[in-house]
Amino acid sequence: MLLRTERVLQLRSQQGRSVRVVREHYLRPDVPCRSALCRAACPRDGKLLSDDVTHYVVPDCKVVQDYLEILEFPELKGVIFMQTACQAVQHQKGRRHYNKLRNLVKDARHDCIVFANEFHQHSYLPREKGESMEKWQTRSIYSAAVWYYNHCLGQMPVVMVTEDEDAIRKYGNETEGVFVISFKNYLDNFWPDLKAAHELFDSILQARRERESESQENNGKEYPEHLPVEILEAGIKSGRYIQGTLNVNKHRAQVEAFVRLQGFGGKETDLQSDILIYGTRARNRAIHGDVVAVELLPVQEWKGRTVALCENETEDKAPADTSGDPMPTGKVVGIMQKNWRDYVVTFPSKEDSQSQSRNAQKILVIPWDYRIPKIRISTQQAEALQEYRVVVRIDSWESTSLYPNGHFVRVLGRIGDLEGEIAAILVENSICVAPFSEIQMSEMPMISSKNLWKVNPEEAKNRLDLRDTHLILSIDPKGCEDVDDALSVRTLPNGNLELGVHIADVTHFVAPNSYTDVEARARATTYYLADRRYDMLPSVLSADICSLLSGVDRYAVSVLWELAKESYEILRVCYNKTIIRSAYKLVYEAAQGLLDGDTSVVADIPELKNLDETTKQEKLAELVWAISKLTDIARHVRAKRDSCGALELEGVEIQVQLDDKNNICDLIPRQPLEVHETVAECMILANHWVAKKIAESFPHQALLRQHPPPRQEFFTELRECASAKGFSIDTRSNKALAESLDKANDPLDPIVNKLLRSMATQAMSNAVYFSTGSCPEEEFHHYGLALEKYTHFTSPIRRYADIIVHRLLMAATTLEETKGGVKDNIVSNKDLQEVCRHINSRNRAAQHAQKQSTELFQCMYFKDKTPETDECCLADGVIYSIRANGVLVFVPRYGIKGAVYMKNKDGLVMACQGDGSCEWKPGSLHRFQSKITSTTTTGESVTLSLFDHITVKILVQTSRCHADTIKLEITRNAPYQTSDVDVSQKNFHVVRSDLVKEVSQSAEAAQRAQENSGVEVLDEDYREYCQTKGASLYQLLEEIRDLALLDISADVRS
């Protein structure tokens, strides 16, 4: 029975006038309490509050707003967030803070729930006339706490925590069993040993007091005030202001930032490029990643982006003649959405901190990310934490302050320590790697060595059984555990061929909205770092029940095509839930060996061992035929895509080689194999056909993947570089670009084509997931793959997008079979687009983390070398870009890209001697489109041109506050000659698993030595990040498929 009431709201119009609004408000008696103690008839579905606690705690609005970080501690159990407090957070703290609260409540690891007190007949209180909003909120939350205590029949004491002294005096002893105390009192009495919570409380309290005192003391404005939201929204709609995301140039963070356009409301614009925001005052307290509103400056005030090479820490100002052509320039007039996060920072050295302020408790800490400004925090631990990386959060940035104010959160690890640096990478990319919770693990099938997983006979009736009819095989990297795809090919009775792609049926074990599903959705992907991985799903699924290992029965979702026997044209396709038994788990090298006719690799195929010779030869012939036929089909499929304009882009994957002393002694680019392309083409084919199927069945709510065409201005440098070699690059379409790149081949230097393809890759837009209902069909196209529709279906073990697609595909096939409507497991367009945004964000984080961890290990490799004596620190470099004060160089030997300066900080220029060796001398530089000339005061001259080969020295530039970086120096104006590189690349057959074990032993020995020397290590914090089980940090190095060493020098577009 619903009870109708009215709520009176005081709202503000766009013109700033106060408007009184009366809205209907309905109350009901059956709002669920979500407590396991409930003896009433409340629904018990979903998350329930534990009954295994000493008390329930109810925080009021102010506590939730100010101390949510402490309420996130998993030790705090039995937390009831009242609807009143949640709405206060939503309206007063913004979407980001509110989303943190929502995620906390959803997280199965945290014992907390939301109670909708404002919709319950017996807990809702109308606001009294003249009562302030804060007093009404506190009274409502107390009333709801009393109701909750009585509803649970007094079985559990309820503690309401508040910062309102009047409420404590008024309600403290009013109801037996319901206690009202301050949050500090609560921590002191109930959690006296939770040291981290007490330190965080003190940090937050101190930061708040500093803000209040600063706002009273400072009347002078350092920055203009932001415009009100209603004015910004109206301005964006009219076209006066432009909305976009702020991207700070990490190499010139003090002066250069860009706003990537997000749309212009209903107003057309002629802008075709990003908007330059020059200087911190024009940035107006916006932080990298914020969504801002920008006002364009007059054209005569426009500036150009820097074309000179810059070093992060020292070169805040570039010479006046190093700017490019003027571009749209603007200033930030308001912030639409603050995307603040946790920041890794380092305390300044003792000398710097002493010169900062008279008040030793106020410290300007230096963020790990160059793009983030220094943050002022208050702490008494500055001296003790000098050598550690710590996490802080920004609280505010007032117009009267040069820097944002924040507070200390926790310690990560010692500067330079591997675990501390990995933890910093994870925090910087907002990656949570907490172990899977008990409630999530309780959803997993119970298996053991004595109780192996078996096919359910009832489930088998609903699946196509391929165990006895198909030769199924998987091809993966050495040591791969999470095998989520397998292939098959066979000849049909009518002479045609049948191609099969079989994908692990993860969705059978992960029910929609289960705890495992919610966690997988939050993670969105498996995170691969250079020495470890963090799984999206528990290992019982990813490495066992769902992994398509050889010789065991597995559930799969299969796509089967009937192909014409000679032309390989697709005649028919079907999608089925299946049961398979893979016959072979091959590694890439063995499959390539069989393809090339190398029978020596048979010894590396365990499934062919212990067979008599006749049986072995029969099975070998059958296997070789299957791999050869799969490769033939893949060639045909690739040729068809090529004819439509598919692009072949360039990437580098690195392998590690060790010496006898367990030291990393080499980084070697992996050589591509044709069998890589075979597997990739079969997966692309499956993804394409599944995309067509789900888009046809669910035209407004299917998850696809689009790759927008790149903006033409991003190809400028590619075209200029190609023209220096006499090549013409046509970028009007993907087909024209692909054909141009194929023709841009220098027979004397194959590196030229690789570099041009790499530059084309840099110019590309990022592929993203989207819901088909969110954009017109003509935008579905995948530019790089030259396909009209594309999705991800083939890796549900490590990508949540694939799980959604599996559910859509099964719903589509069910819809076809039943001729009726299927709404189960189908997400609305709005919700699906929100999930897509989240997955895209997590994918970007995964890519950044992988790149940063790769750079970390690059630096570890070269850090122990002596550049003057170690030959491995010298390498051949190829120039691929000319800048005002130097060149950008690609080092094929190690897959490294970096800057080489022709003019140093002292103003000296690079001069070359008769033997090609280089030294610094007084002189000047002259930059041209395809070359740069250095002329000394004595008349000596040297010219470096695009695609010239030079000898570079590789060093590591260490930084106390930031990540170490690779630095390149030119040593000779001539190619580096050595035969060792070619030999090592041709004869590299070191087994990766052996390398991993040796690196492991080396790392563990170093760790023990550090501990024995008495160095303090914060093990408690380190253990938080150790998720993947194994004997070492390096155990999973061989599993990484796409470990590409990307550009470490500069963002080409910044």
pLDDT tens-digit readout, 6-62: 666 655 554 445 666 666 777 888 888 989 888 887 887 778 888 889 999 999 999
Those residues with Cβ within 8 angstroms of residue 869's Cβ, 6 or more apart along the chain or in another chain: none
pLDDT at 457 over 80: yes
Q: What is the mean pLDDT of residues 417-431?
A: 93
Strand arrangement, sheet containing 79-82: 112-115, 79-82, 56-59, 158-161, 178-181
pLDDT above 50 for 1030: no
Q: Which residue has the higher pLDDT, 1030 or 795?
A: 795
**Could you tell me whether strands 874-883 and 768-771 are parallel, antiparallel, or unpaired per DSSP bridges?**
unpaired
- pLDDT at residue 6, as a whole number: 63
Residue 1038 has pLDDT above 70, yes or no: no
Residue 611 reports pLDDT greater than 70: yes
CA dihedral 448, 450, 451, 454 (to 10 degrees): 110
What integer pLDDT is reported at residue 293 of this predicted model? Answer: 95
Q: What's the rounded mean pLDDT across residues 1017-1039?
A: 39
**More confident: 922 or 978:** 922
How many angstroms from the chain centroid is the CA of residue 632? 36
pLDDT in tens, 846-855: 999 998 988 8
- φ, ψ (nearest 5 deg) of residue 891: -105, 95
pLDDT score for 189? 92
709 by Cβ neighbours in 10 Å (0-12 / 13-18 / 19+) ranks as middle
**Average pLDDT over every residue of 180-189:** 93
Beta carbons of 231 and 16 less than 8 angstroms apart = no
Q: What is the pLDDT of residue 461?
A: 93
Average pLDDT over the chain reads 83
Amino acid at 598: D
pLDDT at position 427 over 50: yes
Q: pLDDT for 214-239, tens place per residue?
A: 665 555 678 999 999 889 999 999 98
The DSSP symbol for 708 reads: P
Q: What is the mean pLDDT of residues 127-156?
A: 90
Work out the number of other CB atoms within 10 angstroms of the CB of residue 878.
23
Query: Facing residues of 882 across strands?
Result: 887
Q: 200-204, 444-448, 639-643, 988-992: lowest mean pLDDT where?
A: 988-992
Residue type for position 487: L
Cα 588 from Cα 802, distance rounded (Å): 24
DSSP code for 582: B
Give the residue with greater pLDDT, 650 vs 186.
186
Q: What is the rounded distance in angstroms from the CA atom of residue 586 to the CA atom of residue 593? A: 11
Tens of pLDDT, residue by residue over 810-845, are: 999 987 665 555 556 688 999 999 999 999 999 999
Give helix 95-106 / helix 61-71 axis angle, nearest 10°. Answer: 60
Q: What is the pLDDT of residue 901?
A: 92
Task: Output Rg (C-alpha) for the chain, integer angstroms.
Answer: 31
Which tokens hold the place of 170?
A: 């008024």
380, two tokens: 């008494």
Q: What is the pLDDT averaged over residues 774-780?
A: 91
Instruction: Report CA-CA distances (Å) from 35 to 48, 61, 82, 440, 522.
Output: 5, 21, 13, 19, 25
Contact 244, 292 (CB under 8 A): yes
Most confident option among 172-176, 267-271, 352-356: 172-176
Does the pLDDT at position 265 exceed 80? no
- The pLDDT of residue 816 is 65
Quick one: pLDDT at residue 39? Answer: 84
Tokens found for residue 223: 């920055």
Residue of 53, 52, 33 lying closest to 43 (CA atoms): 33
Q: Which of 706-715, 758-767, 824-833, 972-981 has the lowest mean pLDDT?
A: 972-981
Of 995, 951, 958, the closest CA to residue 862 belongs to 958
Question: With bands split at pLDDT 50, 70 and 90, how would you rate the model's confidence at 660?
Answer: low
217 or 761, which is more confident: 761
**How many whole angstroms separate alpha carbon 835 and alpha carbon 841?**
10
What is the rounded average pLDDT of the residues 789-798? Answer: 95
pLDDT of residue 940: 85
Note the pLDDT of residue 787.
Answer: 93
Rounded alpha-carbon distances, angstroms, from residue 86 to 82, 101, 557:
6, 8, 42
Tokens describing residue 1044: 């590409």
Q: Summarize the confidence of residues 550-570 as an average pLDDT.
A: 94
DSSP state of 153: T
**Span 311-328, pLDDT tens digits:** 654 334 444 445 678 899
Find out whether 729 and 756 touch, Cβ atoms under 8 Å: yes
Q: What is the pLDDT of residue 109?
A: 80
* Reported confidence tier of residue 599, pLDDT bands at 50, 70, 90: confident
Specify the pairing of strand 654-658 against strand 584-587. unpaired
pLDDT score recorded for residue 323: 67
Q: Which tokens in the block code for residue 353?
A: 């901190």
Q: Which residue has the higher pLDDT, 712 or 64?
A: 64
* b/e 182-214 (16+ beta carbons within 10 angstroms → b): bbeebbeeebeebebbbbbbbbbbbbbebbeeb
Residue 980 has pLDDT above 60, yes or no: no
Encode pLDDT of 335-393 as tens digits.
998 989 999 999 988 766 555 544 456 889 999 999 999 999 988 888 888 899 999 99
- Reported as a pLDDT band with limits 50, 70 and 90, residue 458 is very high
Helix or strand run (H / E) with residue 285: none
Q: Give the whole-angstrom CA distance, residue 78 versus residue 63.
A: 16
Contacts (Cβ under 8 Å, ≥6 apart) of 235: 227, 241, 293, 295, 333
Q: Which of 393-397, 479-483, 576-580 holds the top average pLDDT? A: 576-580
**The pLDDT value given to residue 1040:** 36
Residue-wise pLDDT tens digits, 51-100: 889 999 999 999 999 999 999 998 999 999 999 999 999 888 777 788 88
Higher pLDDT, 559 or 7: 559
161 conformational bin, left if phi > 0, alpha if psi -120 to 50, beta if neither: beta
- Cβ neighbours of 360 (radius 10 Å): 13
User: In which band, very low, low, confident or very high, does the pLDDT at 1032 lie, cut at 50, 70 and 90?
Assistant: very low
Q: Residue 613 is encoded by which pair of tokens?
A: 């010779």
DSSP code for 435: P
Rounded mean pLDDT, 156-184: 91
C-alpha to C-alpha distance for 572 and 498, rounded to whole angstroms:
9
| pLDDT at residue 127 in the model | 84
